[in-house]
Each structure stands twice: as C-alpha cells, then as structure tokens.
Structure 1
Amino acid sequence: MASNRRAFLTVTASATASAAGALAVVPAQATAGTGRPPAPAPATASAALDELLAGNRRYAVGRPRRPQDVVGRRRVLAGGQHPFAAVLGCIDSRVVPELVFDQGLGDLLCIRTAGQVLDEAVLGSLQYAVEELRVPLVVVLGHERCGAVAATLGRLRTGAAVPGHLELLVEEISPAARRTRALPGDWAEHTMRAHTAWVRDAIRADPAFAGASVVAARFDLDSGLVALLP
C-alpha cells in the first residue's frame, strides 16, 4: 500500500496547495416540517467537534433528537450536500457514526473499514471530503472489543494464516499490536488505541488533509460514550 500511496500523493500534491485556504461557511439546511428555524451548521473544526460530542451525550443517555422529518430533509439535500464532519470508523454494526453522534441525513460523511484501516480508497474519499466538500473536521473512531484487532492478536499469538483479504487488515493493525504487547493490562485495548492514534497521525501528516483538523476517539460499547484519545 505504501508505494501506491506515494504515487497517489504525487499526483494530488498540486491540487492540495489550492485547497489549504480558508474554509467557507456553509449555511445550515432547513429541516422541513419541524416548525423551528434551521440551526446554524458548525463552520469550524472546534464547533463541529462540540456538536458531535454533544450529540454523543444525547445518544448515550437515550435522548436523541434525530431523525427529524427524513422525507423533508431528503428533499432539501437532493440539490447538494454540506456535511460538517467526516468520520473514519469501523464496520462494526454496533458503531454507526450517525447514531453514535446523533446526527441526521447529510450531516456526516462516513467511511467505514474493519478496524478503521487505511487504504487508497479511504484516503481518496477523505480527500474528497476535505478538498471538495470543505469538511473542517475528520474523526478517526475506534472502539473496544474490535473484531479486526482480535483477529490480529490471534495471528500474532499463534502464527496461523489469515485467509484471503483479511491479511490486509492484520498487516495494518499488527504494528500497533507489536508496539503495545509488553504493556500491562488489556492488549486488545492498548492495540486499538495505538492503531487509532496511528491512523489519525498518518492522516494529519498527509498534506492532502492540511485544510482539516484530525482527531482520534474511542467509542465505549457499554456506556455509549465517545472519548477523545491523546
């Protein structure tokens, strides 16, 4: 993947320079049928993160505000989308970003791979979000009890072969697992945190994403809460 990624960055370097300017303030879309004026869409990374964490607290206590008039919202969005954040998360069926952050149709651009593993398609999709849609915030969302992490640890413990395309997942998560193997406590938890932070750092270091703030977070399956990772 590394060689393909270098080629990808070479091709996109010139386009990146023009995308590093100020982010445009995107007007909020009205929610038809609610009887309330539209709330302003978060226009900065800080405001976007505040909105996501506030939505997550609503989700965790079982008081979500969405969905609201999905049919009306769909009609409003038919002419164009203006998501205020991008989330790279895991495919785990219990970790759906729109639900976890209590956001509605058109609010988030979500990319999901097992173990939030990076590849060229993920990088291209994130670049589209940042450069074309002017998304100010990218969240890399890991979670406890991740199946991709468990498969990686199983491979390292036993040396058993991993079938087919699953090998890519194991190869990408293994460095984090090796770095944390000697730490006391839960190896799977340490691996998930280290891998999620590494993905964040890899995106941050890529000039294609200079126009966005990139953070890493952990979702707790038991409490429903999201916590930012250092």
Structure 2
Amino acid sequence: MPDLAPASPADAYAALLEGNARFVHGERLHPNQDADRRSAVVPRQRPFAVLFGCSDSRLAAEIIFDRGLGDLFVVRTAGHVAGPEVLGSIEYGVHVLEAPLVVVLGHDLCGAVTAASEADRDGVAPAGYIGDVVERVMPSILWARAAGCTDIDQFVQAHIRRTVDGLVGRSALLATEVAAGRCAIVGLSYRLADGTVSVVSSKGSLPEGV
C-alpha cells in the first residue's frame, strides 16, 4: 500500500483543515479506518501530524479531523500541560516518526484554564494532582491578565499561544526541526458548539496567514 501521507508542514495542515471541514458539515469520509489500513500500519507507523491536545472527552482528534489509523500521533493532557514525558513524546513523533506538523489543540470553556483562573482569583488551589495541573496553567493566566485579558476564552487563547512558544523554547530538538523547515507547529482553538478550529499562533513554514 503506497504511503500517501502529507509530507510537508503545509500539506499536513491542509489535510487536517479539510478533515475538520468534513466533520463540521457532516460529510466525514472515515479514511484509513478499515481492515486493509489496520494491516498496512502493523509493520510501521508514519503519522503526518503530532496532535498535542487537551484531554477533554469532546476533543477526540481522529473524529474532529476525520482521520484514521496511523494518521495522527496523539498526546493529550488536561489543559495541554507539557511535562518531560509530553515533550519526549512530541519529540519522538517529530524526530523519529518524522511527522512534519505539531498541533497544539485547545478549546473554549476549558476546565483546566477555568480552574486556574478561579484559583488565581480566589487564592485557593484545587486538591491533589489537579492542583499541579492548575499550577502549570497559571503562568498563562497571569500573562493574559497582565495583557488585559478578562474572560475565559481569552485565557484559553493565551494558554495555547504560550504552549506553542514553550514547545520551541524548551525543546532544542523541536526548535531545530522548525528552523530547518522540516516541521511546523500550529496552535488551534476548537469550538465545542460547532466543531470548527481557528488559528491562534504558529511557528515554521505554513501558508500565509496561519
């Protein structure tokens, strides 16, 4: 079976947008979800994008981008917070599996961002390891407030932007791949009500306006 996966950052990004448009309009093709595809990817995976998203149950990557087996290398945490394991997983997807695109996927009404905003306002952090998630989101809240942001959706966009910046800033490997044009990183915000995505920020070689 020939490998027809998008090979450039721009082509990978276009494929995701096309899939999202099909999902939004109820015209999904369900590509690469049959027995032939299952067999074809047994010896090797070659995903065309690393999807680093929030763990929210309404944000299932293969569904909202209308993709299938072997297409996306998915990493998800609450509030898309990135610890060493996450960075290593994303680096693996880019450096070893040669995915030309990394997507940071956040969404409106994000619970982790809301919790961090409330903790900042009230001065009380959630108990347990939920508090650790909130602590990792908190710098984005503080940065957004300093920039004049006041509502949750503005905080969400600020957190997506800072996550994109943080991937390049913290990972020398990702920074090198982006600088060489082999990979691009784009931050997208997903709207729960209508299923659309919009660009928040990007790094690397992508179409003008992204």
Task: Using structure 2 for the length normalisation, give the TM-score.
Answer: 0.87
Q: Which runs of 5+ in 1 are unaligned?
A: 1-26, 29-39
> In the alignment, is the contact (CA less than 8 A) between 1:180 and 1:187 conserved in 2?
no
Q: For 1:186-201, what aligned pairs fall within 5 Å after superposition?
A: 187-201=151-165
CA contact (8 A) 1:142 1:218 kept: yes
- State the AA in 2 paired with 1:80: R
Q: Say whether 1:226 aligns with 2:197.
A: yes
Question: 1:208 aligns to what?
Answer: 173
Structure 2: state its 5+ residue gaps. Answer: 178-182, 202-210
1:217 to 188, 199, 205: 188
2:149·2:155 contact (CA, 8 Å) conserved in 1? Answer: no
Say whether 1:73 aligns with 2:37. Answer: yes
Residue of 72, 75, 87 corresponding to 1:108:
72
One-letter amino acid of the counterpart of residue 102, structure 2: V
Indicate the RMSD between aligned Cα atoms, in angstroms: 1.6
Report the residue type matching 1:220 in the other structure.
R
Partner secondary structure for residue 66 of structure 1: coil
Aligned to 1:139: 103
| 1: CA distance, partners of 2:9 / 2:27 | 24
Instruction: Provide the rounded CA distance (Å) in 2 between the counterparts of 1:87 and 1:69.
Output: 18
Aligned to 2:208: none
Please name the residue that 2:116 is paired with: 152
- Per-residue CA deviations over 1:15-58 (Å, capped at 9, x if unaligned) read xxxxxxxxxxxx51xxxxxxxxxxx2101000000000111011
Deviation (angstroms), 1:183: 6.2
Q: Give the Cα–Cα distance (whole angstroms) in 1 for the partners of residues 192 and 97 of structure 2.
A: 31
3-state SS in 1 of match to 2:94: helix
1:74-100, Cα deviation, whole Å (9 max, x unpaired): 111111101000010000010111111
* Contact 1:56 1:102 (8 Å CA) reproduced: yes
The CA distance in 2 between the partners of 1:74 and 1:65, in whole Å, is 16
**Equivalent of 1:117 in 67, 74, 81:** 81
What letter matches 1:227 in structure 2? Answer: S
**Greater gyration radius:** 1
Residues matched between the structures, number: 193
Q: Give the deviation of 1:224 after TM superposition.
A: 0.6
Q: By how many angstroms is 1:176 displaced? A: 1.4
